Every structure is written in C-alpha cells, then in structure tokens.
Chains A and B, each alone.
Chain A
C-alpha cells in the first residue's frame, strides 16, 4: 500500500468526489489559484477549473450561507475554512441555517454541505486561530462532525461526508497534514459513527479522537514498555454520530477509562463520553473516569507552554497511572 500524507489523502478524496458527482464543488479562501493555504487543494483548480474550485473573498458568513442555499437546490459544496476558528465568523449561517433548516421545515429540505478545515492548536498562533469546535458542532442537532486522526480515515471520512445528505464538519489538523500513512489505491469509504480500535489492550481504555489519538497511541507504547500496562486505544473518528457500543465494550473489558482530547474540558466532547460511561457502564468501573484535555485557559501563544497546554504523552501517562493507582 502506498504511503501518502494526510494532506494528499484529503486531496484524493476531494478529486475523486468531484469526478464522481458533477454537483460537488469546493469553495473557500485561496483554494483555487493559490492552491490552498495548507495546499490541501493543490492542483485541483488546474485540473477542474473555475466552476468546481472557487476562490472566495474573505467573507465566511457570505460564502458559507451561499453554500447552504446552493445545497438546498442540489449543489454539494465543500466549504473550506482556512482555519476552523473562522467558522465563528459564519456562526449564524452554520449553526442556525445549516443545522436547523431541515427541522424547521418539518423535513421538507436537507443541507448536503461539508465544512472542512484545520481545527487544532499546537501551532504557535495564539487563541484566535486554535479552536477545536467539534464539541460546539456536536451540540447542534442537525450537524454531524468527524475528526480523522490519520490519512486513511481522512480520505474515507471525507468521501462519506461529501456523499452524506446532511451537513458534516470535517475537523482536520495542520500538524497531521505532512504525516504519512498507508492508504489503499482502490476506492473505499469510512462510515460515520464507527470508532476504530487502534490498539487492543486489557488494563485500561484510552478513548480519544483527532490528533490526540496518535499521541495516545505513543503513550500506550511507553506505558507498555516502561510500566507493563496494556492500554486499549479507541479512536472515535466520528463525534456525532457517536459509536457508543465500541466505547462501552472497551470499558466493560478494561474497567477503567482515560479520555483524551484537545478540547477545553468544560463541556468538551469527553464530558459527554464521561457521562455515557458512568451512566451505561457504572457497575463495570473500578475507578473514576479520568480526563486529559487542553489546559483550561485560552490557547497560549508561547510555544513551550502551548505544547504543555495541549495533551501530550507525559500528561496522558500521568493520568493513566493515576487511574490505575
């Protein structure tokens, strides 16, 4: 299987879907002639032209809303947010119109759009460009959200998202764009709502999503080597819909859970997962559920501190040891 980058995997998904369905188009700031701020769409404008790859002015509310309106008539726009932080500029469009139009019309319409872009910290850009709003999206019934942690999932989830008839947010990660994974040449999709057991284990469940899944995997290796702890690592992949079964099966097997995410802790995704575990696996627990989140403050600029603010192997290991103590 070829090794390709996370960036290349997303580009392949976009290109394949553009070729498959004439209604798929890409809109965003500098996605066409500039080749994308993070080069995710590099070469697509050359190949597919102005109709399918569309540069927008810096007007997130207008182009997000335009995409939603166009989707009502069957266009399937993929909207790139240069940073997912910028979705806040389009809040009314994305969090009122995309999420609720179907409901408020009693099911007379649907909004098949994808909103994609990087949603991560750790890049030394300060608080306004480091949001991880998967919890915010998941708090809006009508929206779906996925957080691919590797190139295989990024491609497969992106293809599912584009084919989905509801609005789907795909949370990417700039720190993963250049990382490589094995991705098959033949076509595949990754379904929404199916978690991935990245590593099987018996002592404790580390439940995580996005880039934190990769960090958790490294932490699990260290735990095995240095502490003889056999941790299971569950990558949620999809936040809403959520694969509750895989989470609960793992906890019922290991009896302990550490939840790891880059979200800030208050009302983060893991607040919901924690509730789920205590509510549906209470009798299986041997210890309270532990969480490792971004340290609860606005994202700091200073690099060494930011590296400590977002979850890292050291903090995960510490939490696992505490949970097992």
Chain B
C-alpha cells in the first residue's frame, strides 16, 4: 500500500467514525482539561519549530528528530496516565517529554548541550528523562527501549502496584528482534505493558510497504496471543479513547496490549534527512497537513464546543511561541557543563561516595 493510498483509506474510515469527543473518557473532561490538551499540543509544535530554527542556526548539533504532526499521540496518552503508570519512548521524544510536564527551558537547553539541560547536556535530543514524572526516556537505538518498557511494567507487577507502562515505538522498530522477543515475553508472563506503535508510515526513509511484509503492524500481536487494535493519531480524542481501552485492559487484566496508531510526520526522519520529499510526495505531506493536522483538528472541535474561541486559541498559540522563544534565549545564555562533569553521573556509587569509602580506581585517565 502506498502512503497516498493509506491516507485515502484513512480519510474514508474517519468519515464513518463517531465523534470520539463525546465518548465517556472524553465527555468527562473539564473545560480546563481540554484547554490543557490544546496547550500541550501547541506547546510541542512551537517548541519544535523553535528548535528547528536553532538547529538551522547551528546552535544545536547532532540529530534532531522532530515530532511535528504526531503531537496528538503523546498528548492524548500522557493525559491518561494514572499514579503508577510510566512511559518510555525512542529518540523522537520531545513531545512525550513536554506532555509529561518537562519544561521548555530544560528541554531546549539539553538540545544546546547546556548544563541547565534536563540531562545536564549529557544526553541530547534523543535522551530526555524525567523519572519523577514517570518518563524513562528518550532512547537512541531503534526498539532498544521495548524490553525496558516491559521491565517497568514487570516492576509494577512484582511490587503489586496497579498500573501500566506505555512503551512507544515507531513503525520501523517492529522489525527489530528485541521487540519480537519482548512481545513473546510479556504475553507469556502477563506483563501490564501497552506497546504503542506510532506508525508514521516511514521507517527512516523507507516506506512501510518497503519495510514490513504485513501492512497491519498491530496484527503481529496475534502471533503472541496479544490483544491489539488500531486507530488514527491526528485526533487527540480518538487517541485517548483507544489508549484508555488499552491501558485499562493492561492495568485490570495484567496483560499486554498492542496499539497501532496511524500518524504522520511532516519533517524528515531527522533534520539531517534532507531527502524526505524524495521518498514521498509534497502533495502527500500537504494533504495530511490540510485535513488532519492535530492542532487544527483539535482547535476546530474546541471552538465548536465553545471551549475555545478563535481569539483564545490564538492567545494560547502566542503564549507558547513566547515560551519557546524564551527557552531558546535561556538555552543560549546557559553555560556549557564544566569539564569536571564529564566523569560525574557514570557510577551511582562514585557520585554518592561522600565519605570516600569506595576502593579502587573507577576512571582511567592518565
């Protein structure tokens, strides 16, 4: 299936769908909570646009995997997290980080490699973490986070805590061995993990059709006896409804769930992917933006139900732009980590050896 065909099919399907905003999990949202969803989605977009600008100015090095177009997925799922829930994702992690409540300053400073960054400049774009908010990264290797996500959920079960772990992965990650091993393990052991495949149609620069033998990725769950479902990722209400079913099932039944969410990224695999208009058409990108942009979709719905007005939506947009600009200024003005930081945070025991009890040499620098 070509991506253009995929989009067509998705549009057709959507037109038949009921309005997810009126389903139970969404109907119970207060006005403030709905506005917060909008603020989060817009915040992620404006943060990433500002980071792209900084990247193009040479302020950010390395890789920058933008989430633009996919924002409703992380926003919707994080909004469902309960006390004992945890999330983990791969390297396209800015959206998840901001959604759990990490602030733009620490996130932007991390991109700049600054000491004020969330990982003190030691992790970069792909390695954001906020354990205090149930966010366990930010992992750079495709599918490398999938056994870790299973481990978070294993720990919940081991400790007798009711909750689930949501492990995000891309459509490219489904073809890694570690993921398939993990699917078997979590089903075998009854581990409350929800794997969310954010299927944006491209594993790096290779379309789904050219990388996966079977186009339904979630269907692979059947081979392992795992319950699965699919949904669209541009409407935060749809994401919330489907993810709520998956997360509730994991928590209540102590079983895994495989949820494939069809979404789209406007930018390349990373900013360095300058060829992203060669492996897909410009028209394909524009069509998605026009019909399914998660910000536009949500704004229309919230204006229609009088949660927002055109003016208040604009105000939020402006506020997030200002916040993103301020974060770039904060990052710019922050110091780089001192050289002494190079060997901190390597070993817990060294970092906590306040009374000099540790024996032996830990670092081998002449």
Contacts and interface: CB of A to CB of B under 8 A. Distances in A.
Interface of A: 23, 25, 51, 56-57, 59, 61-75, 92-93, 96-97, 101-110, 112, 141-142, 144, 164-166, 191-194, 238, 240-244, 272, 279
Contacts of A65: 144, 146-148, 150-151, 178, 182
B320 to A, nearest CB: 26
B307 to A, nearest CB: 35
Chain A's interface: helix, strand, loop or mixed, by majority? mixed
Give the most central of A68, A74, A101: most B CB within 10 Å: A101
Given A56-B185, A193-B360, A74 B155 contact: yes
Contacts of B147: 61-66, 68-69, 93
Nearest to B185: A62
B345 interface: yes
A72 B154 contact: no
Interface string B332-363: 00000000000111111101100000111111
B97 to A, nearest CB: 12
A73 B86 contact: yes
Contacts of A67: 151
B348 A166 contact: yes
B131 interface: yes
Give the most central of B137, B147, B150, B152: most A CB within 10 Å: B147
Contacts of B141: 92, 96
A73 B152 contact: yes
B138 interface: yes
B146 to A, nearest CB: 7
Contacts of A107: 120, 344-345, 351
A277 to B, nearest CB: 13
Interface of B: 86, 88, 117-123, 127, 129-132, 136-141, 144, 146-156, 158-159, 165, 177-178, 181-182, 184-185, 188, 343-349, 351-352, 358-364, 366
26 contacts: A57-B188, A59-B181, A62-B182, A63-B185, A65-B146, A65-B147, A67-B151, A69-B150, A69-B154, A71-B151, A73-B159, A75-B154, A92-B141, A93-B148, A102-B347, A104-B137, A105-B122, A106-B117, A106-B118, A106-B123, A108-B129, A142-B347, A165-B348, A166-B347, A194-B359, A243-B359
Nearest to A69: B151
A240 B182 CA distance: 31
A144 B123 contact: no
B122 A194 contact: no
Contacts of A73: 86, 151-152, 155-156, 159
Give the most central of A97, A194, A279: most B CB within 10 Å: A97
Given A65-B146, A65-B150, A70-B151, A103 B345 contact: yes
Nearest to B363: A141
Q: Which 10 A-B pairs have the closest CB atoms?
A: A69-B151, A193-B360, A65-B147, A241-B360, A107-B345, A62-B181, A73-B155, A69-B148, A193-B359, A106-B119
Contacts of A109: 129, 131, 136
B346 A103 contact: yes
Given A69-B165, A109-B129, A166-B348, 13 more contacts: A59-B184, A61-B182, A66-B147, A66-B148, A66-B182, A72-B148, A72-B151, A92-B144, A105-B131, A105-B137, A106-B122, A142-B347, A242-B360
A29 to B, nearest CB: 12
A243 B86 CA distance: 40
A110 B127 CA distance: 15
Contacts of A97: 139, 144, 148
A192 to B, nearest CB: 7
A321 B33 CA distance: 80
Contacts of A108: 119, 129-132
Contacts of B344: 107
Give the most central of A25, A102, A108: most B CB within 10 Å: A108
A253 B361 CA distance: 21
A96 B155 CA distance: 21
A260 B323 CA distance: 60
A167 to B, nearest CB: 9
A102 B345 contact: yes
A104 B182 contact: no
Nearest to A27: B154
Contacts of B136: 69, 72, 109
Contacts of A238: 360
A93 B181 CA distance: 13
B150 A104 contact: no
A240 B152 contact: no
